[in-house]
Amino acid sequence: MTRKDEKKRLRDEYRIKRCEISVENRREGSLKICETLMRQISGADISHVCLYHAMRAEVDLSALAGWLWEENIAVYFPRIEDHVMHFYRVKSSKEFSEGFYGIMEPVGREELDTDALILVPGLAFDINGYRLGYGGGYYDHFLKEHPCYPTIGVCFEEQIASLSDMTEAWDRPVDLLITPMREIICKKNGGTYAEEQL
C-alpha cells in the first residue's frame, strides 16, 4: 500500500471514529477543550486568536469564540481564496456566510497581519503533534508561511493516532495538543512529550 493510500485509509478510519462519538459527548468534550483554552489564553499575553468554524463533527469552539469577544481579544476565521487560506477578523457570530465546501466563512475584509495563536483542527493527531488533515493542505501551507505562529491542535481522545510513518518533510507539528482529558506538550524533534491530565 502506498503512503497516499494509507493516508486515505486513515482518513476514512478516523472520520468514522469521530462520527461515532455521541452528540452529547462531543458537546461536553468541546466545552472542556474550550475551558482549557480559556485558561491557557488567560495566563498568556495573547491578543489575536485564529479559530475555525466546526464541521463534520469537529471540536466546536463557539464557546471559546464568545469568550474571546467578551475579553476584547481579536478573533479570526479562515476563508479560502484562489485555493489559499487567509484569516479574517470576525467581531460577532453574525459575520459569516456559506463558502468553500459549504463551510461558514467570514464576510469581513480585515485580514490577519500580525502574530496570532492558531487553533488547528484535524481528523487525527499523534502525541508528537503531527496532524492528519483532510488532504487539501490549507493549514500546511499557511503554517509553512508563518512558522513562528504558536499552534494548538484540538481533538477528541478518539482521534489520537500513530502517524509516525505518515509525516512528510514539510509537516509542522502543533506546539500543544488539547483533548477533553489532557494537554500534551508536543516535541518537534519527535522525542518525548509531557502531558497533564485534566
- Give the rounded percent of residues in the chain with a pLDDT score beyond 70: 93
Weakest mean pLDDT among 116-120, 153-157, 161-165: 161-165
Look up the pTM and report it.
0.92
Distance CA 182, CA 178 (A): 6
- Among 163, 96, 100, which Cα is nearest to 129's? 163
pLDDT of residue 82: 92
Continuous segment of H or E residues that includes residue 177: strand 176-178
Distance separating alpha carbons of residues 114 and 119, to the nearest angstrom: 15
Per residue in 128-139, pLDDT (tens digit) is: 999 999 888 899
Amino acid 191: pLDDT: 44
Encode burial over 114-138: b for 16+ CB neighbours within 10 A, e otherwise. Answer: eebbbbbbbbbbbbbbbbbbeeeeb
Q: Residue 62, class by beta-carbon neighbours within 10 Å (0-12 exposed, 13-18 middle, 19+ buried)?
A: middle
Partners of residue 104 on adjacent β-strands: 98
Confidence of residue 64 (pLDDT cuts 50, 70, 90): very high
**Residue ranges per structural domain of the chain:** 3-197
Is residue 32 predicted with pLDDT exceeding 60? yes
Architecture per CATH, 3-197: 3-Layer(aba) Sandwich (3.40)
Residue 102 C-alpha from the chain's centroid = 18
- The mean of the pLDDT values for the chain is 90
Write the DSSP string, 41-74.
Answer: HHTS---EEE-----TTPPP-HHHHHHHHHTT-E
Phi-psi map region of 153: left, alpha, beta (phi>0 left; psi -120 to 50 alpha):
beta
